[in-house]
Amino acid sequence: MEEYNVNCLNKALGLKRKVIGVRFLHFKAEYQELDIEEYGRKTSYCMMVQRAMAGEHFKADAEHFGCRCALEALGLDAEMECVESGERYYSIKLYESRAVAKAVTRDISRIKQRIYGIETGPLDLLEEADVVIFMVNAYQLMRVVEGYSYKYGIPKSLCMAGNQGVCADLTASPFEKNDLNFSVLCAGTRKMCGWTDDEMGVGIPVQQLTPLTEGILKTLNYIEYPDRKQKIRESLKEPGELGIIIDDNLHYGKEGKAYVNPQKYEQLKNGGGI
């Protein structure tokens, strides 16, 4: 259960949709023993993610997947023969040559081992998850990257091609690379799921959730301006809910003034401040 981290992300970032978890179920027996509702219809994986972000909690196996690319990306079925060569992407006119299509195919993440099914739903309803996914706008993504960089430095595992935005970019990539990835999504998921034009996705392996949340909170006072701080305050039930006190007097611009003022810099230097 990740109620605290979920609440902090919701309040600090102002998320509109639920933070969800995805758990990979490797064996049929494991799937059958999981006592939750089965998805019960055949559709795309990204529609499953959209429903999870609306509050549904369910399991699904290969029979519920209506998208071939998602089946392969998530390890629920073997790749078709035309995939590795790049022929599938080249044949639908997405790339200039077979060589480009092959290179893109090689770099798009796919889970290598076979998986029987998935469990997904709001993260605070799952007992355990492998990957965490949430939707953001550009400003919220900036804050995610700042929080990540506070802990880990610049993200180095980013990968996207404008295709397979949810299955490959937000699910397979964080799991396979064991690192954060974000995605501009793809035309298919934007059409089917009705994501707004400014929405993007973030996917992280579950063990990065706590450090990422901490990084977002640690940088909040030094990044956010008073108007945004006030909006965050208004969302809180109590001032210390996030584990920090939001302070309008703190900002990285103020912290850095001494270093662009030679006289102040010398005072700090001589006083042992640096």
Would the pTM count as exceeding 0.95? no
Instruction: Tell me how far apart the alpha carbons of residues 89 and 100 are, in angstroms, rounded to a whole number.
Output: 9
Instruction: Tell me how far apart the alpha carbons of residues 24 and 115 are, in angstroms, rounded to a whole number.
Output: 7
- Which residue's entry shows tokens 């179920």? 25
Per-residue model confidence (pLDDT) at position 84: 81
159 within some domain? yes
Contact assessment for residue 152 and residue 186, using Cβ atoms and an 8 Å cutoff:
no
Per-residue model confidence (pLDDT) at position 145: 98
Residue 158 sits in the same domain as residue 260: no
Residue 133 sits in the same domain as residue 178: yes
Question: pLDDT tens, 58-73?
Answer: 999 999 999 999 999 9
| Tokens, residue 7 | 């609440």
Asked which of 206, 236, 258 is the last residue of a domain, the reply is 206
10 within some domain? yes
Residue 137 sits in the same domain as residue 253: no
pLDDT at residue 35 tops 60: yes
Contact assessment for residue 200 and residue 135, using Cβ atoms and an 8 Å cutoff:
yes
Mean pLDDT, rounded, for 22-29: 97
Beta strand pairing call for 200-205 and 131-136: antiparallel
Mean pLDDT, rounded, for 13-32: 98
234 within some domain? yes
Lowest-confidence segment of 78-92, 142-156, 181-195 by average pLDDT: 78-92
Residue 263 sits in the same domain as residue 130: no
Per-residue model confidence (pLDDT) at position 87: 85
Mean pLDDT, rounded, for 199-210: 98
Chain Cα centroid distance, residue 3: 17
Going by pLDDT thresholds of 50, 70 and 90, the confidence category of residue 52 is very high
181: exposed, middle or buried (C-beta count within 10 Å: 0-12, 13-18, 19+)?
buried
Amino acid 182 reads F
Asked which of 206, 240, 260 is the last residue of a domain, the reply is 206
152 within some domain? yes
Residue 109 sits in the same domain as residue 76: yes
150 within some domain? yes
Residue 127 sits in the same domain as residue 170: yes
Question: pLDDT tens, 93-112?
Answer: 989 999 999 999 888 899 99
138 within some domain? yes
Mean pLDDT, rounded, for 191-214: 97
Residue 103 sits in the same domain as residue 183: yes
Residue 189 sits in the same domain as residue 225: no
Residue 144 sits in the same domain as residue 193: yes
Amino acid 98 reads R
Instruction: Tell me how far apart the alpha carbons of residues 197 and 266 are, in angstroms, rounded to a whole number.
Output: 49
HSE of 229 in the Cβ direction (CA atoms, 13 Å)?
18
Per-residue model confidence (pLDDT) at position 227: 97
Q: What's the structural domain count of the chain?
A: 2
212 within some domain? no
Say how many residues make up the chain: 274
DSSP-assigned letters across all residues of the chain: --HHHHHHHHHHHT-SS--EEEEEE-SHHHHHH--S-B--S-B-HHHHHHHHHTT--EEEEGGGB--HHHHHHTTSSPPPHHHHTSHHHHHTT-SSSHHHHHHHHHHS----S---EEEEEEGGG-S--SEEEEEE-HHHHHHHHHHHHHHH-S-------SSSIIIIIIIIHHHHHTS-EEE---HHHHHHH---TT-EEEEEEGGGHHHHHHHHHHHHHHHS-HHHHHHHHHH-SSTTTTSS---TT--HHHHTGGGG-HHHHHHHHHTT--
Residue 91 sits in the same domain as residue 66: yes
Residue 202 sits in the same domain as residue 222: no
- Which residue's entry shows tokens 């076979």? 114
213 within some domain? no
Asked which of 173, 206, 239 is the last residue of a domain, the reply is 206
pLDDT at residue 204 tops 80: yes
Residue numbers of the domain that contains 234: 218-270
Residue 227 sits in the same domain as residue 198: no
